């Protein structure tokens, strides 16, 4: 069943020119953490998994690369397929190069953009993903500052005309747009196909400024996998690194004999400054 949230002329209720420019978002607290890609790409917010059954809900404290802030997410758990959907919306906002973060799209065109088949099932999955993302809430807490926000503020789905309109949080758009080559990153993610750990590691590569070394425990904590699952983490990691190497990222990942991995970042000024030596 395709979710129908259509109301008369609903798509005209979102003004394309009435929102904050992605290039000049509102401040979100010291350091502007929400205008950096780390909370979205290098945390368990979008887990390095593909959830196929009912997802857990509630509030979860997310591990991040920034020790000074606590990131709390309330809502159904999100995965890398959900991140594909969010980044598809962000990509269109960046391509438009005009003020505002509202994007309108034909559902078949958007599914093609994500490399998905156009079918009733894929429409249902897209609608469910958009609603999951919109329903979720992020809380960013520091010593004296708390910020409450959401990734998508409005989702309008017109079943009859097979179109959607979505308003993306301008800070999310700004965070991705500030990356060195955001559209290259988004396209490379899609080229990885149904490989959630590889996609998550690619996000880490594009987020970091410098080199960061992770052991198995920290990798599981950051990528949102509570346990290695059916396959040992080493097996999953080896497969992920193989595909990243095939795409030209071999120099950005180093495997150490003790099982740790070193990740050399491409994030430049848009990534976190924290560095851990091997």
Tell me: the pLDDT tens digits for 173-193? 999 999 989 999 999 999 999
In this predicted structure, the answer to whether residue 47 has a pLDDT above a threshold of 90 is yes
Sequential DSSP letters for 7-58: -TTGGGSS-TTSS--TTSPPP-SGGGGGGSSHHHHSSTTEESS---SPPP-S
Asked which of 132, 158, 177 is the last residue of a domain, the reply is 177
Read off φ and ψ for residue 47, nearest 5 degrees. Answer: -65, 150
Would residue 236 count as lying in a domain?
yes
In whole angstroms, what is the distance from residue 33 CA to residue 71 CA? 10
Residue 97 pLDDT > 80? no
Range of the domain at 190: 182-270
Of the ranges 20-29, 56-65, 230-239, which is most confident? 56-65
Same domain? 164 vs 196: no
Are 173 and 187 in a shared domain?
Answer: no
Among residues 120, 155, 177, the one where a domain terminates is 177
Q: Give the 3-state secondary structure of 202-240.
A: HHHHHHCCCEEEECHHHHHHHHCCCCCCCCCHHHHHHHH
Question: Is the CA virtual torsion 77, 80, 83, 85 positive or negative?
Answer: negative
Residues 165, 209 within the same domain: no
Structurally, how many domains does the chain consist of? 2
Residue that is last in its domain, among 177, 210, 241: 177
* Residue 2 domain flag: no
Judge if 129 and 217 occupy the same domain.
no
pTM: 0.84
CATH number, domain of 38, equals 1.10.10.10
């Amino acid at each position: 069943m395709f979710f129908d949230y259509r109301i008369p002329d609903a798509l005209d209720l979102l003004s394309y020119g009435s929102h904050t420019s992605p290039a000049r978002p509102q401040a979100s607290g010291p350091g502007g953490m929400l205008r950096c890609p780390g909370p979205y790409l290098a945390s368990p917010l979008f887990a390095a998994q593909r959830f196929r059954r009912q997802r857990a809900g509630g509030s979860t404290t997310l591990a991040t690369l920034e020790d000074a802030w606590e990131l709390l997410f309330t809502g159904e758990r999100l995965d890398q397929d959900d991140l594909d959907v969010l980044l598809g919306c962000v990509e269109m906002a960046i391509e438009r190069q005009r003020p505002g973060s509202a994007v309108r799209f034909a559902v078949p065109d958007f599914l093609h953009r994500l490399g998905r088949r156009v079918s009733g099932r894929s429409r249902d999955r897209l609608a469910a993903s958009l609603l999951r993302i919109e329903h979720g809430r992020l809380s960013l807490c520091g010593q004296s500052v708390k910020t409450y926000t959401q990734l998508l503020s409005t989702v309008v789905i017109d079943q009859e005309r097979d179109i959607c309109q979505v308003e993306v949080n301008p800070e999310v758009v700004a965070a991705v747009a500030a990356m060195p080559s955001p559209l290259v990153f988004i396209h490379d993610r899609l080229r990885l196909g149904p490989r959630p750990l590889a996609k998550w590691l690619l996000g880490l590569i594009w987020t970091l400024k410098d080199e960061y070394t992770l052991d198995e425990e920290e990798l599981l904590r950051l990528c949102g996998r509570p346990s290695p699952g059916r396959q040992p983490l080493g097996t999953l990691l080896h497969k992920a690194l193989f595909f990243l190497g095939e795409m030209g990222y071999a120099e950005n990942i180093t495997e150490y004999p003790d099982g740790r991995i070193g990740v050399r970042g491409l994030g430049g000024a848009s990534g976190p400054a924290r560095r851990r030596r091997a």
